[in-house]
């Protein structure tokens, strides 16, 4: 608005301009050609913290922070030379300063005011702290919604999708343009229950449900869906928001775990069944002594099997909560390997396996945990026996080197497909071959070997071709406290991923 | 008089032998196999009165073998008992759906097993 110069003494009592300024709904000051404040209203007093008496006669540049005062003066002089109406909102980053130094973001609008006394500038000032904060929060929330990997979907009261973030596009494959205007039933899996929580819109509190939806490409996705009502500031229901999270990995882990638990259950019950059944028969006083002897052997054998299984489970359960601790002493790895071979001899004999030991001559001293190393060798031997055909040979070798010791266990069993080899040392992994042959075991033996070898600073590897046996190698530094800088000189063996 | 014929199919030798022991003592002629496929072949040869089937076995599971036996009209009178470590209700339901007459969960009592076998055979007359 440009005020006409219809009053020769513009700012005396009861002039229309004075009344206009005073009754305005925002802070206003009138500034003369030299930059001095000629008039200020009550809202300007309140905004800047000065009394009206203080303001009048003050250079207007005092109302901006010191650091921009110079530039403010330049702009003001430029404006005085070419006065024009300047609306609010165009300026960016204008700052006001209160008496005592408090700064606030402001927007100003300027109107030239022609009077007989010369040209004045009517300045309206608005404190935009609150709206800046709101803008900031809005853009912040927008960035949160746009950046998250969770799908965030807004719907109106009819259930029509009205917003669809990049996370939703990533999870379900549809773009925002494709989904806006649609309903969530676009994602229904055929033949599945559609009474899921993302269908309803109501004032009910938040519901969360794990379910299955269909990706644009037709694949099923496991998702956890949370449906929350959107309630406006006035308390009315506006629609609902859906947050969907991809839980495929969790589901996969759950299935692996379920499979593992079912396997553990089977593996525990099998030796237990043999023990329970034979003990029941042993309680019969009339049992012939030859039968009695055989049954006791069965019970003994199955007790040992159960003991090993429970030991493995406890070992891995401990690994879940803490790293493997090893007690390092000076040990002879040849003796450790020999003891493991001797302990496994009865099991090898029982399975018709020819178990051989090639110690490679002298004792090999190294720093290690004798119990753990024995356990690792034993696990490799047990595996080799389990996968060996009747009459097959298992050979255990100790191959000393300058800086490390290699323990090798070779079998003539079914072998391991190349793509299965890299998974062998993973928790719960059982090679499909093992599963199809129903070989005893719960998939922890090689994991335990790897953990023990890792704790000794070594690595374990496998070489195998399906149908022609497998060779497992543990490569152990003679002193794990001394770090090797060069890789091992053992070629052609696929190494386990971790060091 | 012909001795009743039992077929024990289990991949665990210690389980097979204990079942064989008690069934033999109870007057059965007992045959053993260690997987479902071999079990079906032997069943075709010996026409057992009762087949005791483990569930989790190599090559062919006990449940599959049970279904196959049920398809074979020659084996109509054969009693099939699943003997397994799978103990969930859904497993048991699946076992009966496959055509088993009884379902025994491991660990099991050998004497109870003999009792069940005899009762089922008496029932089929």
**Which domains can be identified in chain A, with CATH numbers?**
16-128 (3.30.450.20), 148-246 (3.30.450.20), 251-321 (1.10.287.130), 329-495 (3.30.565.10)
Mean pLDDT for the stretch of residues A278-297: 91
Look at residue A415 in the predicted model and tell me its pLDDT: 84
* Residue B41 distance to chain A (closest CA, Å): 19
Confidence of residue B1 (pLDDT cuts 50, 70, 90): low
Question: A64, A158 in Cβ contact below 8 A?
Answer: no
Q: What does pLDDT average to over chain B? A: 90
Q: C-alpha angle A321/A322/A327, rounded to 5°?
A: 145
**Contact: A280, B56; criterion CB under 8 Å:** no
Mean pLDDT for the stretch of residues A149-166: 92
Instruction: Write down the residue that tokens 């237990």 correspond to.
Output: A272
Q: B49 is written with which tokens? A: 């009165």
Per cent of chain B over pLDDT 70 is 98
What does the DSSP 8-state code read for residue B73?
G
* Residue A292 distance to chain B (closest CA, Å): 12
Q: A335 is written with which tokens? A: 């003796």
Look at residue A487 in the predicted model and tell me its pLDDT: 45
Look at residue B124 in the predicted model and tell me its pLDDT: 63
Neighbouring residues of A249: CB distance < 8 A, sequence distance ≥ 6: none
pLDDT, tens digit, 9 for 90 and up, residues A223-263: 999 888 888 888 888 899 999 999 988 888 888 788 778 88
CA atoms of A246 and A258, how far apart (whole Å): 20
Q: Note the pTM of the prediction, 2 decimals.
A: 0.60
On the question of pLDDT at A431 being above 80, the answer is no
On the question of pLDDT at A101 being above 60, the answer is yes
Phi, psi of A332 (to 5 degrees): -110, 110
Mean pLDDT for the stretch of residues A89-116: 82
How far is CA A322 from its chain centroid? 21
C-alpha dist (Å) from residue A407 to A66, A154, A448 = 78, 61, 16
Residue A225 pairs with which residues in a beta bridge? A209, A244
CA atoms of A338 and A394, how far apart (whole Å): 14
C-alpha distance across the termini of chain B, in Å: 15
Q: A276 is written with which tokens? A: 């329970």
CA atoms of B23 and B5, how far apart (whole Å): 9
Asked if the C-beta of A298 comes within 8 angstroms of chain B's C-beta atoms, the answer is: yes
CA atoms of B115 and A24, how far apart (whole Å): 103
> Is the preceding omega at residue A392 within 30 degrees of 0, hence cis?
no
Mean pLDDT for the stretch of residues A102-128: 87
Look at residue A206 in the predicted model and tell me its pLDDT: 66
Q: What does pLDDT average to over chain A? A: 84
Tell whether the torsion through CA atoms of B53, B59, B63 and B69 is positive or negative.
negative
Residue A242 pairs with which residues in a beta bridge? A153, A227
Neighbouring residues of A101: CB distance < 8 A, sequence distance ≥ 6: none
Phi, psi of A283 (to 5 degrees): -70, -15
How far is CA A59 from its chain centroid? 57
For strands A27-31 and A37-40, give the pairing.
antiparallel
State the number of CA atoms in the 13 A half-sphere of A188 facing the CB: 15
Phi, psi of A288 (to 5 degrees): -65, 145
Tell whether the torsion through CA atoms of A167, A168, A174 and A179 is positive or negative.
negative
Per cent of chain B over pLDDT 90 is 62
**Contact: A438, B87; criterion CB under 8 Å:** no
CA atoms of A247 and A223, how far apart (whole Å): 5
Look at residue A8 in the predicted model and tell me its pLDDT: 42
Per cent of chain A over pLDDT 90 is 31
Look at residue B57 in the predicted model and tell me its pLDDT: 85
What does the DSSP 8-state code read for residue A388?
P
**Domain regions of chain B by residue span:** 5-120
**Contact: B21, A438; criterion CB under 8 Å:** no
CA atoms of A416 and A6, how far apart (whole Å): 101
pLDDT, tens digit, 9 for 90 and up, residues B13-51: 999 999 999 999 999 999 999 989 999 999 999 999 999
* Residue B47 distance to chain A (closest CA, Å): 27
**Contact: B109, A276; criterion CB under 8 Å:** yes
pLDDT, tens digit, 9 for 90 and up, residues A296-352: 999 998 998 899 888 888 888 888 777 788 888 999 989 999 999 998 888 888 888
With a CB-CB cutoff of 8 Å, which residues 396-455 of chain A face chain B?
Answer: 436-438
- Three-class secondary structure of residue A259 per DSSP: helix
On the question of pLDDT at A373 being above 80, the answer is yes
Mean pLDDT for the stretch of residues A75-89: 77
Task: Name the range with the highest mean pLDDT among A208-217, A401-410, B25-34.
Answer: B25-34
**Contact: A280, B111; criterion CB under 8 Å:** yes
Span B5-120 CATH architecture:
3-Layer(aba) Sandwich (3.40)
On the question of pLDDT at A483 being above 60, the answer is no
**Contact: A438, B22; criterion CB under 8 Å:** no
Phi, psi of A452 (to 5 degrees): -65, -45
Question: A37, A55 in Cβ contact below 8 A?
Answer: yes
On the question of pLDDT at A377 being above 60, the answer is yes
Look at residue A261 in the predicted model and tell me its pLDDT: 82
Asked if the C-beta of A499 comes within 8 angstroms of chain B's C-beta atoms, the answer is: no
Look at residue A91 in the predicted model and tell me its pLDDT: 55
Mean pLDDT for the stretch of residues A118-136: 88
Contacts of B13 in chain A (CB under 8 A): none
**Contact: A298, B17; criterion CB under 8 Å:** yes
Among B59, B107, B110, beta carbon nearest to A269: B107
């Amino acid at each position: 608005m440009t005020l006409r110069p219809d009053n020769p003494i513009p700012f005396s009592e009861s002039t229309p301009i004075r009344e206009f300024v005073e009754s305005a709904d925002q802070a206003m000051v009138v500034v003369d050609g030299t930059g001095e404040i000629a008039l200020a209203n009550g809202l300007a007093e309140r905004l800047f913290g000065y009394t009206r008496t203080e303001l009048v006669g003050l250079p207007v540049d005092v109302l901006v922070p010191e650091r921009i005062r110079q530039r403010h003066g330049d702009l003001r002089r430029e404006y005085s030379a070419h006065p024009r109406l300047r609306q609010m909102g165009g300026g960016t980053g204008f700052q006001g300063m209160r008496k005592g130094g408090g700064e606030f973001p402001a927007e100003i609008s300027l109107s030239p005011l022609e009077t007989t006394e010369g040209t004045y500038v009517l300045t309206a000032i608005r404190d935009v702290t609150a709206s800046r904060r709101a803008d900031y929060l809005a853009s912040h929330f927008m960035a949160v919604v746009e950046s998250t990997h969770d799908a965030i979907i807004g719907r109106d009261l009819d259930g029509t999708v009205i917003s669809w973030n990049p996370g939703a596009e990533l999870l379900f494959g549809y773009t925002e343009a494709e989904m806006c205007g649609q309903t969530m039933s676009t994602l229904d899996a055929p033949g599945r229950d559609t009474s899921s929580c993302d269908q309803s819109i109501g004032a009910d509190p938040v519901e969360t449900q794990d379910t299955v939806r269909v990706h644009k490409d037709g694949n099923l996705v496991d998702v956890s869906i949370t449906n929350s009502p959107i309630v406006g500031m006035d308390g009315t229901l506006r629609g609902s928001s859906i947050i969907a999270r991809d839980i495929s990995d969790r589901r996969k882990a759950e299935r692996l775990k379920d499979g593992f638990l079912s396997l553990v259950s089977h593996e525990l019950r099998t030796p237990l069944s043999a023990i329970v059944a034979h003990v029941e028969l042993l309680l019969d006083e009339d049992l012939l002594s030859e039968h009695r002897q055989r049954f006791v052997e069965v019970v003994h054998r199955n007790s040992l099997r159960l003991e090993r299984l429970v030991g493995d489970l406890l070992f891995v359960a401990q690994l879940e909560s803490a790293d493997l601790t090893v007690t390092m002493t000076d040990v002879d790895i040849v003796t450790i390997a020999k003891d493991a071979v001797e302990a496994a001899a009865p099991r090898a004999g029982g399975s018709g396996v020819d178990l051989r030991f090639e110690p490679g001559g002298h004792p090999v001293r190294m720093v290690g945990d004798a119990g753990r190393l024995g356990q690792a060798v034993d696990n490799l031997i047990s595996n080799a026996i389990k996968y060996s055909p009747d009459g097959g040979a298992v050979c255990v070798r100790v191959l000393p080197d300058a800086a490390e010791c290699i323990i090798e266990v070779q079998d003539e069993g079914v072998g391991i497909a190349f793509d299965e080899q890299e998974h062998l040392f993973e928790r719960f992994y059982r090679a499909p071959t093992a599963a199809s042959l129903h070989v005893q075991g719960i998939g922890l033996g090689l994991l335990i070997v790897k953990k023990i070898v890792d704790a000794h600073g070594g690595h374990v590897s496998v070489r195998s071709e399906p149908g022609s046996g497998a060779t497992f190698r543990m490569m152990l530094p003679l002193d794990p406290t001394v770090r090797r800088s060069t890789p091992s000189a053992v070629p052609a063996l696929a190494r386990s991923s971790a060091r | 008089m012909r001795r009743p014929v039992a077929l024990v199919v289990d991949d665990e030798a210690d389980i097979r032998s204990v079942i064989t022991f008690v069934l033999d003592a109870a007057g059965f002629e007992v045959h053993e196999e260690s997987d479902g496929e071999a079990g079906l072949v032997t069943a075709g040869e010996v026409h057992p009165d009762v087949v005791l089937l483990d569930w989790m076995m190599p090559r062919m599971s006990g449940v599959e073998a049970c279904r196959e036996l049920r398809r074979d009209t020659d084996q109509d009178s054969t009693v099939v008992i699943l003997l397994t470590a799978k103990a969930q209700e859904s497993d048991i339901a699946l076992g009966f759906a496959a055509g088993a007459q009884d379902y025994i969960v491991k660990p099991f009592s050998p004497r109870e097993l003999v009792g069940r076998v005899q009762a089922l055979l008496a029932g089929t007359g």
